[in-house]
């Protein structure tokens, strides 16, 4: 399944849902390393974007998203609609990132006006 066939909406433009496979998810639990914590703490003194933590969060979200897409593919889905993220601090310095959505099988929408298809 390709990442382009995912959306936060509940439809994929130009496609119609022919089968719903259910909820799919990807879960990542990460802790900060001592070096990341020290680097992030030093950046708080200066202020602004704390890049050490930004990179950690972005990588966690990307990993959770990839796991969700893989879960959908294993069910035979070719799309995921209603994609959402959630995050929880499990304990100090340990966070969970959850990415979830509804796995679907979609086909090109043949209801498109014929004048568009002809050109």
More confident residue, 67 or 1: 67
pLDDT at residue 119 greater than cutoff 50: no
CA distances from 50 to 22, 37, 40, 95, 96 (A): 37, 11, 6, 17, 19
Q: Which residue has the tokens 């509804």?
A: 102
**Percent share of the chain, pLDDT over 90:** 60
Q: What is the pLDDT of residue 97?
A: 96
Cα-flanking dihedrals φ and ψ of residue 118, to 5°? -85, -20
Per-chain mean pLDDT for the chain: 85
CB 72 within 8 A of CB 80: yes
Phi-psi region of 82 (alpha: psi -120 to 50; beta: other; left: phi over 0): left
Q: Which domains does the chain have, with CATH numbers?
A: 3-118 (3.30.110.70)
d(CA 56, CA 97): 11
Q: 3-state DSSP call for residue 118?
A: helix
Q: Please compute the mean of the pLDDT values over residues 90-106 and round it to a whole number.
A: 93
- pLDDT tens figures, 23-81: 999 999 987 655 555 555 555 666 666 677 788 889 999 999 999 999 999 999 999 99
């Amino acid at each position: 399944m390709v990442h382009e066939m995912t959306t936060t909406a509940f439809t994929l433009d130009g496609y119609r849902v022919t089968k719903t496979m259910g909820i799919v998810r990807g879960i990542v639990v990460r802790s900060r390393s001592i070096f990341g914590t020290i680097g992030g703490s030093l950046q708080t003194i200066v202020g602004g974007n704390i890049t050490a933590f930004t990179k950690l969060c972005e990588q966690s979200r990307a990993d959770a998203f990839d796991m969700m897409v893989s879960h959908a593919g294993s069910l035979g889905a070719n799309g995921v609609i209603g994609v959402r993220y959630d995050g929880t601090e499990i304990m100090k310095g340990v966070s969970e990132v959850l990415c979830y959505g509804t796995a679907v099988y979609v086909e090109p929408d043949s209801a498109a006006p014929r004048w568009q298809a002809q050109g």
